[in-house]
Amino acid sequence: MNTKRILLGMFVVLVGLSLSSFCNKDDDRNFQVAKNLDIFNAIFKELDLFYVDTINPEKMIQNGVNGMLQLTDPYTEYYPEEEMSSLKEMITGKYGGIGAVIRYYEKKDRIAIIEPVEGMPAAEAGVKAGDIILSVGGKEMVRGDMKPQDFSSKVSDALRGEPGTSFILKVLRPQKNDSTVMEFKLTRKNIRNNPVPYYGMVHDSIGYLSLTGFTDNCSKDVKKAFIELKDKGAKALIFDLRDNGGGSLQEAVDIINFFVPKGKEIVVTKGKIRQAAGSFKTTSEPIDAAIPLAILVNGNSASASEIMSGSMQDLDRAVIIGTRTFGKGLVQTTRQLPYNGTLKVTTSKYYIPSGRCIQAIDYAKKNADGSVARIPDSLTHVFYTEAGREVRDGGGIRPDIEIEGDKFPNILFYLMNDDLIFDYATQYCLNHPEVASIDSLQITDADYADFKKLVKEADFTYDRQSEQVLKTLKEVAEFEGYMEGAEAEFKALEQKLNHNLDRDLDYFSKPIKEQIAEEIATRYFFQRGAVMQRLKDDADLKKAIEILTSPEEYRKILSVRN
């Protein structure tokens, strides 16, 4: 009896010590939080009182907040009251305005119309890509000493406003030999970016649907397009999620539900607190649970795009084609802050049906210089689809069929950055008032010769990567004492890599022509034109059609390999 009492007493003491230790750790953390908040507050007060120059309290605190958030991940962000409209637009895809993409145009030191949105006020009134904004509502839009991005924000704010309000937009329109000033009376309306810019038949019995973002109610747009394609005779479907950066998790689940039976668990979220945990299941009967599916993805397919493609892969419901996706397995929620601010904060990770999380970067483990790295393949884990196929976590969605992505040549980046492709498209449209159809649009050798002439007249130059690498190699060779014996070889290599603009424009003519054609297609046929133009010579699309027209191959890919 005494032994039992002694043991019971020891147990109570041990439990008490454990609870005390737990409470002490909790108390210590609370003390550290309070202590450092007091220090931060005291430093600001001292600076405000004694610093030699008057400080801007809002700017200083904002920089402090930004520094704090840099220790988290890129998706945790603070939105003060004046920036709430951009957060709302990102979530809903809606805003009040004229429906036009704008950008700073260095040659004129003004803001240019890059792309009017089809069916919206700007496009309906006749505003065109290439128009240079002079004034909005009588207020001249000049940059002054503002940074280009601040100037763009100023003009964007001026163009937006309450639906139903009107103003006069004055622009400078390029003409064949000159420019002319034009005025348009525009009435703002609720603008909603169309998440399904194009859908149509790409084969006798295969439908195609492009989804650019998982914005609010995009599942309704997808449902409408899918039903129309079925009515047109689609017996299989290609779902294009390339360059789709994600959006609403619930919208992704709703779209998956069109193809997956009711009651399937699609996503589980897990976080530090109980409220961050959740389960998302399909809640309705599907539209078509048997139609063969191919989903196209690339390195810019992220978040909700990865939920959809990864879940369909885990459920063996679709063949995934393309390149490995971005690898964003983090979920953000919004938290209201004082003075109408909002914090968008990462609260959990998501896990798809096989149980895997596809987050590619562990932001909690940063390098000494603050950089982060992807999780190496050697540290990923094997999971299994419903049929027993191996899939892995930790690095995005690996397609069932990987297609090598097109390389983006260095020269093309600089041609676009210098607005030379944009300028040529403007010139082309002046010389070709109409284009009958996307099928008839092609960049001929004569067109490309005109483009090359424009490039040369602009005194175009660009940094070639080979030149930069060679320069670095020479510096290393000199440092390590190898230069003396390799000087002749370096000179020979320098001659071979001698800058030749004509050669570079000819060598990379194919991707440059494709980019020119896409820009021009957008001018005549808006976003749907850009998508249709890209599909003309699309390796991913061709492979998807090949798989979907071969039922045996389709089933083989989605079954366990023995």
Over residues 392-409, the pLDDT tens digits come to 998 899 999 999 877 889
Higher pLDDT, 485 or 227: 227
Higher pLDDT, 561 or 294: 294
Give the whole-angstrom CA distance, residue 188 versus residue 192: 12
Give the whole-angstrom CA distance, residue 481 versus residue 316: 58
User: Helix or strand or coil: residue 429?
Assistant: helix
- CA 151 from chain centre, in angstroms, equals 23
Give the residue among 395, 392, 413, 403 at the shortest CA–CA distance from 302: 395
The predicted structure's pLDDT at residue 26: 72
Average pLDDT over residues 451-478: 83
Higher pLDDT, 486 or 127: 127
How far lies 547's CA from each of 291, 315, 389, 518, in Å?
Answer: 13, 18, 18, 27
The predicted structure's pLDDT at residue 462: 84
The predicted structure's pLDDT at residue 488: 75
pTM greater than 0.85 (yes/no): yes
Instruction: Provide the mean pLDDT of the chain.
Output: 91
Residue 464 pLDDT greater than 80, yes or no? no
The phi-psi region of residue 246 (left if phi > 0; otherwise alpha if psi is between -120 and 50; otherwise beta) is: left
Domain limits of the chain?
Answer: 94-192, 198-338+345-405, 410-463+499-543, 465-496
How far lies 475's CA from each of 321, 485, 487, in Å?
Answer: 43, 14, 12
Catalytic residue numbers, as ranges: 303, 314, 328
Residue 496 pLDDT greater than 80, yes or no? no
How far lies 532's CA from each of 59, 197, 211, 256, 529, in Å?
Answer: 46, 10, 13, 25, 5
Give the whole-angstrom CA distance, residue 71 versus residue 69: 5
- Return the sign of the alpha-carbon dihedral for residues 187, 192, 193, 195: negative
Strands 265-271 and 342-351, bridge-based pairing = antiparallel
CB 87 within 8 A of CB 78: no
Give the whole-angstrom CA distance, residue 406 versus residue 320: 18
* Residue 500 exposed, middle or buried by CB count within 10 Å (0-12, 13-18, 19+): exposed
Confidence band, pLDDT 50/70/90 cuts, at residue 562: low
179-183, 195-199, 376-380: segment of lowest average pLDDT: 376-380
* Rg (alpha carbons) of the chain, rounded to whole number: 29
Residue 457 pLDDT greater than 90, yes or no? yes
Confidence band, pLDDT 50/70/90 cuts, at residue 7: very low
Residue 551 pLDDT greater than 90, yes or no? yes
Average pLDDT over residues 60-77: 92
Superfamily of structural domain 94-192: PDZ domain (2.30.42.10)
Largest separation between any pair of C-alpha atoms in the chain: 108
Report which residue type is found at 494: E
Two structure tokens written together for 551 = 């039922």
Residue 22 pLDDT greater than 70, yes or no? no
Give the whole-angstrom CA distance, residue 351 versus residue 481: 53
CB 347 within 8 A of CB 330: no
Give, to the nearest 10 degrees, the angle between helix 304-314 and helix 249-256: 30
CATH number of 198-338+345-405: 3.90.226.10
Confidence band, pLDDT 50/70/90 cuts, at residue 138: very high
Where do we find the tokens 């895809």? 93
- What letter would DSSP give residue 397? P
Give the residue among 446, 415, 431, 447 at the shortest CA–CA distance from 515: 415
- State the virtual CA torsion across 118, 119, 124, 127 in degrees, nearest 10: -20
| Phi (first) and psi of residue 558, to 5 degrees | -90, 10
Give the whole-angstrom CA distance, residue 354 versus residue 380: 14
The predicted structure's pLDDT at residue 494: 67
Residue 219 pLDDT greater than 80, yes or no? yes
Over the stretch 295-347, which tens digit does the pLDDT of each residue have? 999 999 999 999 999 999 999 999 999 999 999 999 999 999 999 999 999 99
Confidence band, pLDDT 50/70/90 cuts, at residue 435: very high
Give the whole-angstrom CA distance, residue 353 versus residue 541: 27
Residue 230 pLDDT greater than 90, yes or no? yes
Question: Would you say how long the chain is, in residues?
Answer: 562
Give percent above pLDDT 90 in the chain: 76
The predicted structure's pLDDT at residue 11: 47
- State the virtual CA torsion across 82, 84, 85, 91 in degrees, nearest 10: 170
Residues facing residue 265 across a β-bridge? 281
Residues facing residue 271 across a β-bridge? 348
Give the whole-angstrom CA distance, residue 352 versus residue 328: 12
